[in-house]
Amino acid sequence: MSSESSNLPMREIPGGYGLPFIGAIKDRLDYFYNQGPEKFFQSRAQKYKSTVFRSNMPPGPFIASNPKVIVLLDAKSFPILFDVTKVEKRNVFTGTFMPSTKLTGGYRVLSYLDPSEARHTQLKTFLFFLLKSRSSYVIPEFHSTYTALFESLEKGIAEEGKAGFGNANDQAGFNFLCRMLYGTNPPETSLGTDGPSIIQKWLLFQIAPIKALGLPKFLEDPTIHTFPLPPFLIKKDYKRLYDFFYKSTGFALDEAVSLGIPREEACHNLLFTTCFNSFGGIKIFFPTIVKWVASAGVELQARLVEEIRSAVKSNGGKVTIAAVEKMSLMKSVIYEALRIEPPVPLQYAKAKTDLVIESHENAFKVKKGEMLFGYQPFATKDPKIFENPDKFVPDRFVGEGEKLLQYVLWSNGPETEGPTLANKQCAGKDLVVLFSRLLVVELFLRYDSFQVQIGHSALGASVTFTSLKKATS
């Protein structure tokens, strides 16, 4: 939190940026290769005996002109990143650099706008309209799409003894989003099943500077971390994606025009919201959920089976919002996955004025214009807030534990708050939580238990199903 007059002892922000150019490259090499993100932050917090300190953040030269940030690693300082009365969120969605607008049709899309900008209000109003008008399609379209996914997984296990979740989930996720939001099934259009692969290439052009892709250091760092990938290489693929959205979203684009948003700009925003924000979330977070539920073992799975089937049975055998709301353990499991492994770990904001930021131990002065950066997995595993913070505790948020939801921060705001026109909280926050809940509900209505092999990918967990035990009751 921030405060103008703090009772905590004032301390100069420790740390530094090293020599110009060289310091930024050294920190980049440490972050990606020598240490990795977790050790990078942990070692500096220990060295400075502070959860607030100065450092450079990738990518640095030559992609970002200014890599200097003030790092926030605890649950008390982190929420300043959401307070748009004190910080600006203009062009900081991906951090200290902004990808070329050639990747988004020449427009600064909603994620890069600050709430003080008039277009932010128009575009977020537009998204609220879309989400509200299509909300009744969520549950039936999810059931339909993910039933087909599970059938394909069963077939894979029967034939090969295992079935990868990643690619199947990517396709199902994209199909579900387009069916739910726009009433269009991509495989029945000229886009076919190419959507997910095009999106992944397009995503790479935007986030490669802040990701380790697993290539050899001598090859990866001088290329994708030093110079941006040229947008013309993805132009043809992006046009295919744009054309699909332009043809599929007519009713929504009509509404955008009535709100004063040009049709083309609205379409580029719908593409970004669907493919970057929503599809990206499903691609990263669904395997994370499966990983943690599988890792917790058969006891948790049995408890989820009992709770989910009982709630659905008492609701006339139908999955509804009301039935899902009764599943307190299942809801807690989703919140705990969002806490322990948030899908968007990095968050940025720029100080609008001179500020005082507080950690648990100290207060720190920040000057206007300085870049603030929060590494969310540390804030949501703050040992001063959470008991056994590094452990996945399925029922952490049941009963009294609900009070801790204010410290679940995945959506660019606390879980206890909602998106508004005046903040930068994810417009589809509640729908993303619902999608995640439905995944677990569909799993345990269909299966008594499952087993997986867990690996790693550039964007999180890689999951392969090895067993799906059909429901016996």
SS3 call for 1: coil
Residue 320 falls inside a structural domain: yes
Q: In the predicted model, is pLDDT for residue 206 greater than 90?
A: yes
Q: Say if 443 falls within a structural domain.
A: yes
Alpha-carbon distances, residue 17 vs 23, 24, 39, 131, 207 (angstroms): 6, 7, 18, 43, 23
Q: Is 426 a known ligand-binding residue? A: yes
- Residue 404 within a domain: yes
Could you tell me if residue 7 is inside a domain? no
Percentage of the chain with pLDDT > 70?
Answer: 99
**Is it the case that residue 414 has pLDDT exceeding 90?**
yes
278 is a domain residue: yes
CA 349 to chain centre: 17
> Whose structure tokens read 């204010």?
406
Tokens at residue 12, please? 């100069």
Q: Does residue 175 lie within any of the structural domains?
A: yes
| Domain count for the chain | 1
Tell me, yes or no, whether 359 lies in a domain: yes
Considering the domain boundaries, does residue 3 fall inside one? no
Do residues 301 and 443 touch, judged by C-beta distance below 8 A? no
pTM: 0.96
Residue-number span of the structural domain to which 368 is assigned: 22-470
**Is residue 459 pLDDT above 90, yes or no?**
no
Instruction: Provide the CATH number for the domain around residue 248.
Output: 1.10.630.10
Kindly report the average pLDDT of the chain as a whole number.
96
* CA–CA gap between residue 69 and residue 102 (Å, rounded): 27
Q: How confident is the model at residue 5 (pLDDT cuts 50, 70, 90)?
A: low
How many CB atoms within 10 Å of residue 187? 13
Q: Which helix (H) or strand (E) holds 457?
A: strand 447-457
284 vs 100: CA distance, rounded Å: 23
Q: How many Å apart are CA 6 and CA 288, to the nearest integer?
A: 39
Q: Rounded mean pLDDT of 423-447?
A: 97
The answer to whether the bond into 386 is cis (omega within 30° of 0) is: no
Interval 247-304: pLDDT, tens: 999 999 999 999 999 999 999 999 999 999 999 999 999 999 999 999 999 999 999 9
